[in-house]
Structure 1
Amino acid sequence: MNDVKVRQVLRRSYELDHERYAVGVELQPYKLTGVVVGSDGVVMARARRHLTVMEEKEVVKRVAELAGDLVDDRLGCAFPRSRVCVGVQVGGPVDPDTGTVLHLVNGPDDHRHEKPPPYEWVGYPLGAELASMMGCATAVENDAHAFTAYEQSLGVGRTSATFGVVLVRDGVGAGMVVRGERIFAPMEFGHLQVWQRGRICDCGMRGCIESQVGNRALTAVVKERTGRELDGLEAAIALADGNDPQAGDAAAAFRKAGTSIARGIATLLTTFGPTHVVVYAAKDLLVGGPGHRAANSFLQAMRKFPAHTFHISRDCQIVTKPLDAVRGAHGAALIALQSCFDVRLQPR
């Protein structure tokens, strides 16, 4: 056996005895994105799968298949499951201590050509079910917290010890890192009430951030302002960006959405004093310039956050990043490494 093969065998033996790995999975409606990372936090492989249904047990089965395939393809079928953990992040409130999805539901105003069937998870033990099926440790977290974990190790956490992350998807979530420690408590950022006499939110309260912001709310607000039938956020953005007589009315909805986020950011500033806030959203909401009336309206209003906060807290930088499912899955893997194996990555 030559020296190269000897080193490969020794490396493989070391991996079997020492290395820890994590599979991170982002669970979004009807799709999965997965990555496998080593204890150094580097992504080694990735994969995507579509889901035909969102029934709980079927989703667990598909997550297990995706995670198993990633482990088998990258580490080998014989790699011990005791050296692997799985982290899953979902777009809803969870109990990370028990791995329970508290509530996951598709929106009542889900505008699509082919509207998917309704689904609703309430108090579902996703972590326990997945652990039972795979035979390895698991972690379950909210999607905004997963993006926050990613930023802590691989994003703004490299230069800032205290920062926030705002995630704009169907709804709006947030996470915080304070003095280098991620806050584990749930942050219902989207349900901060920022308008005294605002729209009624899906949650039943009035004036929440999510009554104006998020793919569902923004589409609904533009529809209310213009009376147009719209097939999702892209259609709402196209209306605001075009030459239609009602483009200005549509743009006003994006302006108010930006103000809603600005008022939410002001609350984070007043409470925690972050030096940076990272805003993840659809690319078309974040790329301004000529012809991008929706993004211009949203960004300009959002960047006026200093007007809504205590003057001592205004020294904060807003960083915008387009949504990326791989980052969300990567963050879920980093959370799993920490919670299951106590592997803590330093920002780099």
Structure 2
Amino acid sequence: MAGRNGRTVRDLRRANRTAVLQRLYFDGPLSRFELGPATGLSSGSVSNVVADLVADGLVEEAGSVDSDGGRPRTLLRVAPASGHMIGVDVGETRVRVELFDLTLTELARAERPLTQQGYDVEVIVGHIRDGIAEVLAAAGLPPERLLGAGVGVPGIVEHTPDRGAVVHGQTIGWDAVPLEALLRAGSPLPDTVPYFIDNGAKTLGQAEMWFGAGRGARNAVVVLFGSGVGASLVTPEAEQGRAVEWGHLTVRVRGRRCRCGALGCLEAYAGAESLLARWREEGGRVPAGTDEETALTAMLAAAYPVDGADADPVALSVLEETAEYLGAGLSDLINLFQPERILIGGWAGLQLGTRFLPAVRRHAVSYALRHPAQRVTVDLGRLGPDAVTVGAAILPLADFFTRGGRRPEPAPEYPEPAWRTALEERAPH
């Protein structure tokens, strides 16, 4: 039965379960007494919901605390082994697959390097499938126990009704790749376990907002600085984040050719790939036969030697110019979205780290409008190189919370009779 606002008893029950689960997840362990004010539910509703969650194996006791003059209060927490998720990062140098329990403790991982085949679709799909099978085998976990597998990819992700998630990755040569359908064909996962595919910058942003340097902010931009650059915008209207193709903002008319094919994109000046290319073009000694991460380490060592040797003026100049381009790009984000925080992550952003950050901050403030620039902080992300996989694993976890801690139910072959639906909706709280 639906109320005046259109919500059924089932909807209310699901919302109450979600509220209790999320408070225990982010702020637990908590007692039943503390859950009331934290969720806005009555003590009776809290007791009913907790009993339901305990019966489902999602919540467990976690000790007790003394109360003022009364019996000790039992603490509750989310049971770590009550659910499992997989996070996948399709990165620039490797495909990383990690298996997590419900509290995002890593249980197993697998990595597949990307070599000369680059972003060949069949190779990537094979790496993801093999990695999923490997981590499940390593943990001895049956695949049907998973809540889902989240995948962070470069490019724009379109969610279609007939082909699932389709990836438009212009910089990696992917033109409307039906990645979800390809993964599902021959998948090591049963049909009851969903895939959640989204932009890698968005999954990075999701992780930093839930567990990292973005926690507590209402408006933030999280930047993924790797071979290229991207960003995720988080606002009250887009709490799950929205990927923005910031790297393809034009910063120089008729400038350098970007790997997307256009001229003058930010990514053509601020991404690690372009940074190393410019060092090479200006006479820098880029190590031959190494990947980008190793080459960037060598560039940093050349620009900022620790043994008293003279700095490589070419490497230093290119890095300083890159900091200015990156800062100018951040100023556009500041002017457009007026965020409270800007967080820089990704393997290149973390590698450049605190040495690079003061110059980026200085340029961002100098190019931005004064009022929003005075209100924003620019810092590094806190979650390290695994942030994209953690964020990808959050995708099925967030869906699980939205469902009130219930797994997706397979669609019935025939619709349930109206009397059964009515009874379920009128069931007691």
TM-score band, normalised by shorter chain: 0.7 to 0.9
Q: Summarize the alignment of residues 175-324 of structure 1 with structure 2, pairs less than 5 Å apart.
A: 175-179=232-236, 181-182=238-239, 185-196=242-253, 198-226=255-283, 228-231=285-288, 232-242=295-305, 247-281=312-346, 282=348, 283-288=350-355, 295=356, 299-314=358-373, 315-321=375-381, 324=384
User: Structure 1 residue 80 and structure 2 residue 80: aligned?
Assistant: no
User: Structure 1 residue 161 and structure 2 residue 218: aligned?
Assistant: yes
Q: Which residue of 2 aligns with 1:338?
A: 398
Task: Sort the Cα spacing of 1:239 and 1:198 in 2 relative to 1 into closer, same or farther, 3 A.
Answer: farther
Residues 226 and 246 in structure 1, CA contact (< 8 A), matched pair in contact too: no
Task: Describe the SS at the equivalent of 1:176.
Answer: strand
TM-score by length of 1: 0.76
Residues 34 and 47 in structure 1, CA contact (< 8 A), matched pair in contact too: yes
Task: Sort the Cα spacing of 1:205 and 1:322 in 2 relative to 1 into closer, same or farther, 3 A.
Answer: farther
Q: Distance in 2 between matches of 1:204 and 1:121?
A: 13
Task: Describe the SS at the equivalent of 1:211.
Answer: helix
Deviation at 1:323, TM superposition (A): 7.8
Q: Which residue of 1 aligns with 2:121?
A: 56
Q: Which protein, 1 or 2, shows the higher relative CO under an 8 Å CA cutoff with sep ≥ 6?
A: 1
Unaligned runs of 5+ in 1: 1-10, 107-119, 289-294
- Match of residue 183, structure 2, among 121, 126, 130: 130
Over residues 92-131 of structure 1, what are the superposed CA-to-partner deviations in whole Å (9 max), with x where a residue is unaligned?
A: 333245312222666xxxxxxxxxxxxx433221112223
Task: Describe the SS at the equivalent of 1:151.
Answer: helix
Deviation at 1:184, TM superposition (A): 5.3
Q: Distance in 2 between matches of 1:301 and 1:157?
A: 19
**Amino acid of the residue matched to residue 167 of structure 2?**
V
With 96-105 and 129-138 compared, the bigger mean Cα shift is at 96-105
With 325-334 and 278-287 compared, the bigger mean Cα shift is at 278-287
**Amino acid of the residue matched to residue 286 of structure 1?**
G
- Match of residue 132, structure 2, among 47, 67, 73: 67
**Amino acid of the residue matched to residue 384 of structure 2?**
D
Residues 304 and 311 in structure 2, CA contact (< 8 A), matched pair in contact too: no
**Amino acid of the residue matched to residue 154 of structure 2?**
G
Deviation at 1:216, TM superposition (A): 0.8
Query: In percent, how many aligned pairs have the same letter?
Result: 22
Q: Distance in 1 between matches of 2:137 and 2:100?
A: 13
Q: Distance in 2 between matches of 1:87 and 1:272?
A: 27
Task: Sort the Cα spacing of 1:331 and 1:338 in 2 relative to 1 into closer, same or farther, 3 A.
Answer: same
Residues 178 and 272 in structure 1, CA contact (< 8 A), matched pair in contact too: no
Pick the structure with greater CA Rg: 2
Q: Summarize the alignment of residues 115-126 of structure 1 with structure 2, pairs less than 5 Å apart.
A: 120-126=173-179
Question: What is the number of residues matched between the two proteins?
Answer: 310
Task: Sort the Cα spacing of 1:12 and 1:101 in 2 relative to 1 into closer, same or farther, 3 A.
Answer: farther
With 278-287 and 238-247 compared, the bigger mean Cα shift is at 238-247
Q: Which residue of 2 aligns with 1:292?
A: none
Task: Describe the SS at the equivalent of 1:101.
Answer: strand
Residues 236 and 250 in structure 1, CA contact (< 8 A), matched pair in contact too: yes
Q: Distance in 1 between matches of 2:238 and 2:276?
A: 36
Q: Distance in 2 between matches of 1:334 and 1:285?
A: 27
Task: Describe the SS at the equivalent of 1:45.
Answer: strand
Deviation at 1:185, TM superposition (A): 4.6
Residues 44 and 74 in structure 1, CA contact (< 8 A), matched pair in contact too: no
Q: Which residue of 2 aligns with 1:99?
A: 165
Residues 33 and 46 in structure 1, CA contact (< 8 A), matched pair in contact too: no
Q: Which residue of 1 aligns with 2:89?
A: 26
Q: Which residue of 2 aligns with 1:152?
A: 209
Deviation at 1:166, TM superposition (A): 0.8
Q: What RMSD in Å do the two structures reach over aligned CA positions?
A: 3.3
Task: Describe the SS at the equivalent of 1:99.
Answer: strand
Task: Describe the SS at the equivalent of 2:282.
Answer: helix
Task: Sort the Cα spacing of 1:246 and 1:176 in 2 relative to 1 into closer, same or farther, 3 A.
Answer: same
Task: Sort the Cα spacing of 1:340 and 1:124 in 2 relative to 1 into closer, same or farther, 3 A.
Answer: farther
Over residues 213-270 of structure 1, what are the superposed CA-to-partner deviations in whole Å (9 max), with x where a residue is unaligned?
A: 1121001111223364554323332332248878223212111211111122111111
Unaligned runs of 5+ in 2: 1-53, 59-80, 289-294, 406-429
